[in-house]
Structure 1
Amino acid sequence: MIDPWLSIGIVWLGSALAMAALWAFSMRVRNVGYVDVGWAGLMAVAALFIGVVGEGSPMSRGLVAMFGSVWGARLCLHLLHRVLNEEEDGRYRALRAAWDGSPAKFFGFFQMQAVVVALFALPFMAAADNGAYHLSGWTVLAIAVWLGAMVGESVADRQLAKFRADDANAGKTCRAGLWGWSRHPNYFFEWLHWFAYVFLAVGGGLFWLSLVGPVLMFAFLYRVSGIPWTEAQAERSRGEDYRRYQREVSAFFPWPPRKPSPSPE
């Protein structure tokens, strides 16, 4: 067991070194999409590490290690498959153009992801600090939320992958399954996943830090690098088809779609 704040420092340092190596590789192969793969993989490693060195009960630490590592590994492999089989994400092509391909700016971008890994390790630390030795209603709720979020995000990813694999759908917007109720169901379930650590941390001395997960993830997804970047790229590539989708389908929270709206004159 080590001091909780020291463990966060170690997570940041290890992530910074890993992101520096990944930056060099990404510059060589000219695909910045590896930054997302690296972030997800490092989150999985961070959860395992915090689970081992945390100061809470074996049950709390074990659940943190399992929740975070399985979630992060699944997302990492999903993103890796996409990066290996598709051209560089349009969001990063646009960023490359805006920055004139500056390696220095991209290095800073990769290093910011290392900081984000450390920030999102705080909920892991809060949950792993809980001394609870027995299952409680909060623990059961945490397990239920984690399972629901994992299933939901996996289903959303599969539905989108199946839609994109059909050449007849080129230039069209996916409305299959969950994508007909939310424009970003994968983001929604990723955000929901962070509540599992909030419920695991109830009763622990660092509970307040568990709130960093859902609050910060919502801010990133809704206002910073999630929905704004993704939708800007979708509008560039799909034009009016995507704008109609925006008018009819909820941006984030799953909700029955509105009736089809006529295209503006």
Structure 2
Amino acid sequence: MNGFPWAVFGEGVGAAAGAALTVMLITFGIAVAKGLHRIVDVAWGVAFTAVALVSYVLSAGEGDDVRRVLVTVLTAVWGLRLAVHIAARGSGHGEDPRYASMLARAPGSPEVYALRMVYLLQGALVLLISLPVQAAQYIRGPVGPVAYAGGALWLVGFFFESVGDRQLARFKADPANKGRIMDRGLWSWTRHPNYFGDFCVWWGLFLIVCDAPAVAAATVISPLVMSFLLINGSGKRLLERHMANRPGFAEYAARTSGFFPLPPR
């Protein structure tokens, strides 16, 4: 494995930060104009895609082309699918209760508070979590078995996330299911197939840099942060707190794995 160009990579991180910030500021402007901050969730996937594309362009001539294409395509496919899904899910709905509650308690200007605590914070998280995607673009050695294993893990994650989202959307579209708990398909194996899918996607992208151990050590914080957010942060923990008092949820939780897929009990 040839030496890693840390200085050039550092410059690329600065450009990636600019890309993430640009996406978030544009989204903020649109959200203020519409009076609807839930669109920041659409920008999450778009920002990761922008970072991957900027990193790909700036790393030309630096990293292995196969790895550069692989990590860019995987990130863009994940990010754009997620953005389209969230946009479709939120179409025709008002403000997300999470953001409405947050802004109702905002000290001072709600818009300034939203910019600081939602948009800039999410932009910073995009930059941090995408470090393996950025670093992979600058690794000069050829793609090895661990990186291909990362691609396979990404496929597992993308399957769980996309299929789980589609199953839930179909379930909610049926009026007969109003007030019921989704416990079919992948949702009978894990209470959060979409979050588990995200978990696999980001650990898979991390494995693509593991051909370079020093780079892997420098960027492992990224999948760890994403895992924390999915399991203990704004993902599983927050959603289950919201669902706890819904009829049938306790029984569903008793027979269904909380995160990693397992046969129903």
TM-score (norm. length: structure 1): 0.87
SS of equivalent to 1:206? helix
CA separation of 1:9/1:17 partners in 2, compared to 1, >3 Å: closer, same or farther? Answer: same
Aligned match for 2:263, one of 236, 242, 256: 256
> What is the aligned partner in structure 2 of residue 216 from structure 1?
225
For 1:94 and 1:44, locate their aligned partners in 2 and report how far apart those are by CA, in whole Å: 29
Q: Which segments of 5 or more consecutive residues in structure 2 lack a partner in the other structure?
A: none
Share of identical aligned residues, percent? 29
Q: CA deviation at 1:45?
A: 1.4
After superposition, residues 77-96 of structure 1 pair within 5 angstroms as: 77-96=84-103
1:175 and 2:190 aligned: no
* Paired AA for residue 25 in structure 1: I
> What is the aligned partner in structure 2 of residue 10 from structure 1?
15
> What is the aligned partner in structure 2 of residue 123 from structure 1?
132
After superposition, residues 3-152 of structure 1 pair within 5 angstroms as: 3-54=8-59, 55-99=62-106, 102-108=110-116, 109-133=118-142, 135-152=143-160
For 1:216 and 1:172, locate their aligned partners in 2 and report how far apart those are by CA, in whole Å: 32
CA separation of 1:246/1:95 partners in 2, compared to 1, >3 Å: closer, same or farther? Answer: farther
Q: Which segments of 5 or more consecutive residues in structure 1 lack a partner in the other structure?
A: 259-265
Q: After TM superposition, where is structure 1 displaced by more than 4 Å over at least 4 residues in a row? A: none
Q: CA deviation at 1:22?
A: 1.3
Q: CA deviation at 1:104?
A: 1.9
Q: CA deviation at 1:95?
A: 2.7
For 1:27 and 1:66, locate their aligned partners in 2 and report how far apart those are by CA, in whole Å: 32
- Deviations along 1:184-230, whole A, 9 cap, x unmatched? 11010111011222321123241223423321111111122112322
For 1:97 and 1:234, locate their aligned partners in 2 and report how far apart those are by CA, in whole Å: 22
| Contact preservation (8 Å) 2:146, 2:211 | no
Q: CA deviation at 1:242?
A: 2.4
| Contact preservation (8 Å) 1:129, 1:201 | no
> What is the aligned partner in structure 1 of residue 173 from structure 2?
165
For 1:241 and 1:28, locate their aligned partners in 2 and report how far apart those are by CA, in whole Å: 40
Q: CA deviation at 1:153?
A: 1.1
| Contact preservation (8 Å) 2:19, 2:51 | no
Q: CA deviation at 1:91?
A: 2.7
| Contact preservation (8 Å) 1:164, 1:170 | yes
> What is the aligned partner in structure 2 of residue 233 from structure 1?
242
> What is the aligned partner in structure 1 of residue 162 from structure 2?
154
CA separation of 1:180/1:88 partners in 2, compared to 1, >3 Å: closer, same or farther? Answer: farther
For 2:175 and 2:104, locate their aligned partners in 1 and report how far apart those are by CA, in whole Å: 27
* Paired AA for residue 139 in structure 2: N
SS of equivalent to 1:239? coil
CA separation of 1:87/1:249 partners in 2, compared to 1, >3 Å: closer, same or farther? Answer: farther
More displaced, 81-90 or 221-230? Answer: 81-90
Q: CA deviation at 1:125?
A: 2.2
Q: CA deviation at 1:90?
A: 3.2
CA separation of 1:91/1:244 partners in 2, compared to 1, >3 Å: closer, same or farther? Answer: farther
- Deviations along 1:211-260, whole A, 9 cap, x unmatched? 2332111111112211232223334xx623223333332221112233xx
CA separation of 1:256/1:86 partners in 2, compared to 1, >3 Å: closer, same or farther? Answer: farther
| Contact preservation (8 Å) 1:91, 1:233 | no
* Paired AA for residue 187 in structure 1: Y
For 2:171 and 2:11, locate their aligned partners in 1 and report how far apart those are by CA, in whole Å: 45
* Paired AA for residue 72 in structure 2: A
Q: CA deviation at 1:146?
A: 1.8
